[in-house]
Structure 1
Amino acid sequence: MKKIFTLLFVSLALIACKSEKSEIQLLEEEFDNNTLLGKDLSTEPPLQQPDSVLRHVVYFSFKDGSTEADIQEVVDAFRDLKGKIPGIMGFEWGVNSSPEGLNRGFTHAFILTFHSSQFRDEYLPHPDHKAFGDVLRPHMKDVLVVDYWARK
């Protein structure tokens, strides 16, 4: 009888625990929805992730008349910005290799990493970034830019 009572008590306790969400679970749900206490977090660094970085992702498509040498000049000029503009913590690039065919004409992807939005905001109007635009502009067909705070 004692075993049945214990089993019944433990079962009821487990059911009660599963039916109520803890404060931590509620906060995690809000965090997952990019809101916390009504504040939109999509433009802020993630909470509880001090190692988060700001990714500045740039996609280019190039004009039909642009040669491989022209495109390489653009790639080299973009890569060189890391050594010219303070705050760029990382730079990587690549050419689309997706078999899905969903790239909408964008062939080249570039990712710049910043440790703060302030560094990104200083990069955008920087004279060397503007000079890079002068190298890019004659060859660029289209551009797409997405910035986001990396989350794990």
Structure 2
Amino acid sequence: MLHSIARRPLQASLFVALLGIAILGSFGPEVVRGQAQTDQEVSKMLRHVVLFQFKPTSTPADVQRLVDAFRKLPSQIDVIADFEYGVNNSPEGLDGGLTHCFLLTFKSEADRAVYLPHPAHLAFVAILKPHLEKATVVDYWAAK
């Protein structure tokens, strides 16, 4: 009987310790280190994908001027969090004539709302229009 009483406090302590480990483990290492993130703090970025097909009458020099003008926008519009671009090289033949891709990243919809009517963006659109055959734009939220 004495042996059974002596084991119960040990069992209770072991149970409490294991329960504590299980609870802390369910929160992940960020909570244990004091770095828990709410859903809103999880880094999500708004991607703005822009695809162009230029008119056949646009020369390579015209297209390069437009690419250079688009590349300057991040230095003119501070809400652009990231920018990259490239020329299509897909072997699939599904591009529908689109040749150039530009990927802009914003931290919020509010930042995108600043970008769209921004004078530098509108000035770019004005020089682009005479050379634009087709454009496709897709925006999406990407988990980072």
The TM-score, its normalising length taken from structure 1, stands at 0.67
Residue 43 of structure 2: which of 41, 45, 51 is its match?
51
Q: What is the aligned partner in structure 2 of residue 89 from structure 1? A: 81
Q: Does 1:79 align with 2:71?
A: yes
Structure 2 unaligned spans of 5+: 1-38
One-letter code of the match for 2:111? F
CA distances 1:26-81 after superposition (whole Å, capped 9, x unpaired): xxxxxxxxxxxxxxxxxxxxx47711100000000000011111001111111101
The TM-score, its normalising length taken from structure 2, stands at 0.70
Give the Cα–Cα distance (whole angstroms) in 1 for the partners of residues 81 and 60 of structure 2: 27
Looking at secondary structure, tell me which structure has more helix per residue: 2
* Identity within the alignment, %: 56
Residue 97 of structure 2: which of 100, 105, 108 is its match?
105
CA separation of 1:48 and 1:128: change in aligned 2, threshold 3 A: closer
Q: Does 1:129 align with 2:117?
A: no
SS at match of 2:44: coil
> 1:151 deviation in Å?
2.8
CA contact (8 A) 2:43 2:143 kept: no
Following TM superposition, the consecutive aligned residue runs of length 4 or more in structure 1 with deviations greater than 6 angstroms are none
CA contact (8 A) 1:57 1:146 kept: yes
SS at match of 2:143: coil
Q: What is the aligned partner in structure 1 of residue 142 from structure 2? A: 150
One-letter code of the match for 1:63? K
Give the Cα–Cα distance (whole angstroms) in 1 for the partners of residues 132 and 97 of structure 2: 12
Structure 1 unaligned spans of 5+: 1-46
* Residue correspondences, number: 106
CA contact (8 A) 1:86 1:119 kept: no
* CA RMSD, 1 decimal: 1.3
